[in-house]
Structure 1
């Protein structure tokens, strides 16, 4: 049954993305970036809704109160990355528009990539590291100034449930350069939507939002180690069966905030 539901949801995404992306590309020259973003997030919101009813996947969010308040309050979100699910849900859940930092190869995906390229986000050529980071800083500063939050996955790619990728300091370097606080986010999406899996499982994905970490005057590498420590400890608290327990130890920095269903 899970396989059938998963294929139906995949078909639903494919059928809906073609007209939606085509409309986005056609309207891009004539509407504001904010309106275009809202239109495209409408498709993402539809997929999250469809996944709830077709796949049985629901979201639960911890730590809403940790998000900065204010129309132009800056933030750089650094999230755990286990599957495609968080790339769908975070733009829907967050109260500010999000700008992803992503590799330019995604722009070549038919329809989805074309629509993605029409949005005001940051796509980089990872083969040109120095130029890529300079572009991230320049565009990141501009986006943050107008109230758009920048989101990055510090592990760089999706990692298997219960695994830890190599955390890279690009997000914290951007934070130090711009003075924006860092918001760490733990995500248990691998429970329901495993990495590169066709078949999904019903269940609840938990998004845990950590307290803002000031970046002013910080060393980027040291700041990233703090982000990594919080995310990985929180992952072990949220999804303990995915990790090998260590007798006598409890995860440090556990988030005890109240949960709110999303």
Structure 2
């Protein structure tokens, strides 16, 4: 697993940081106002809506926040491989560097649900809204129970025609590094015979994790062709294939990169 105390490989100059302060502050004010609206009036309205209308309603929060990120911070994106998205919903496994990729996949995979830590549902406003959208919320401290919960709920969500978004590193990893991949998403795909759509990007270079500062730039996103679980002899081998694709393509998209961690993880994946 990545050393969380290691300084980021991408070092910003003092001038870049100073210029980012007013734009980042403006973004924060706008994001707080937008979130406060959806976290109060929005949640009350959504209580009276059926699932798909409720989902569409909260989708506007994500789209509005991404629009504001582009306007206030100058962060745009370019996408490759959009033609690789299959018509039938499946499992999406995405590189995790920032908060940007928790919002942007809603442009391409809808309706979707997420594998996430159940603690996130306790976060005021955002967590409450997530709880209204039927996520797969797992207790990562109980690995066996969490895996079975993921399988049971994952099958149900797929049967309902929802994409399942998995961040296999389990937590945001600094741009240029690779985290330990958790096996939950690969096991779900393996057990259900569901293809995995891999997604690589370099969002952490413009929107660093654990930082209030955001930097103008173009986030490059690459969506791969669906990977079939039948091509590997086991779920762990399938996870290795997915990890290799995501990391090698992230390396191509990024300005900086360090050699990835040598092996996949042993617990379930989550946001």
What range is the shorter-chain TM-score in? Answer: 0.7 to 0.9
- Checking the alignment, whether the CA contact within 8 Å between 1:24 and 1:36 is kept in structure 2 is no
1:217 to partner: Cα distance: 7.1
- Checking the alignment, whether the CA contact within 8 Å between 1:74 and 1:180 is kept in structure 2 is no
1:155 to partner: Cα distance: 0.7
User: Paired residue for 2:118?
Assistant: 104
Distance of 2:137 and 2:258 partners within structure 1: 36
Count residues with an aligned counterpart.
240
User: Paired residue for 1:16?
Assistant: 34
Distance of 2:217 and 2:178 partners within structure 1: 22
- Normalising by structure 2, report the TM-score: 0.85
User: Paired residue for 1:234?
Assistant: 249
Distance of 2:170 and 2:109 partners within structure 1: 24
1:28-66 deviation per Cα after TM superposition (whole angstroms, max 9, x unaligned): 442211111111110110010011111000011110111
User: Paired residue for 2:153?
Assistant: 139
Please give the residue correspondences for 1:104-183 in structure 2 after superposition, counting only pairs within 5 Å: 104-183=118-197
In structure 2, runs of 5+ residues without a counterpart are 1-18, 260-271
Distance of 1:131 and 1:41 partners within structure 2: 30
Answer with 113-122 or 209-218: which moved more: 209-218
Distance of 1:45 and 1:234 partners within structure 2: 26
User: Paired residue for 2:84?
Assistant: 66
1:95 to partner: Cα distance: 4.0
Answer with 139-148 or 162-171: which moved more: 139-148
**1:81 is the counterpart of 2:96:** yes
User: Paired residue for 2:238?
Assistant: 223
1:152-201 deviation per Cα after TM superposition (whole angstroms, max 9, x unaligned): 11111100111010011110100011111011110110110011111100
User: Paired residue for 1:256?
Assistant: none
**1:243 is the counterpart of 2:261:** no
Distance of 1:82 and 1:34 partners within structure 2: 29
RMSD between superposed Cα atoms in Å? 1.5
Give the secondary structure class of the aligned counterpart of 2:189: helix
1:10 to partner: Cα distance: 1.1
- Normalising by structure 1, report the TM-score: 0.88
In structure 1, runs of 5+ residues without a counterpart are 246-262
Please give the residue correspondences for 1:14-53 in structure 2 after superposition, counting only pairs within 5 Å: 14-53=32-71
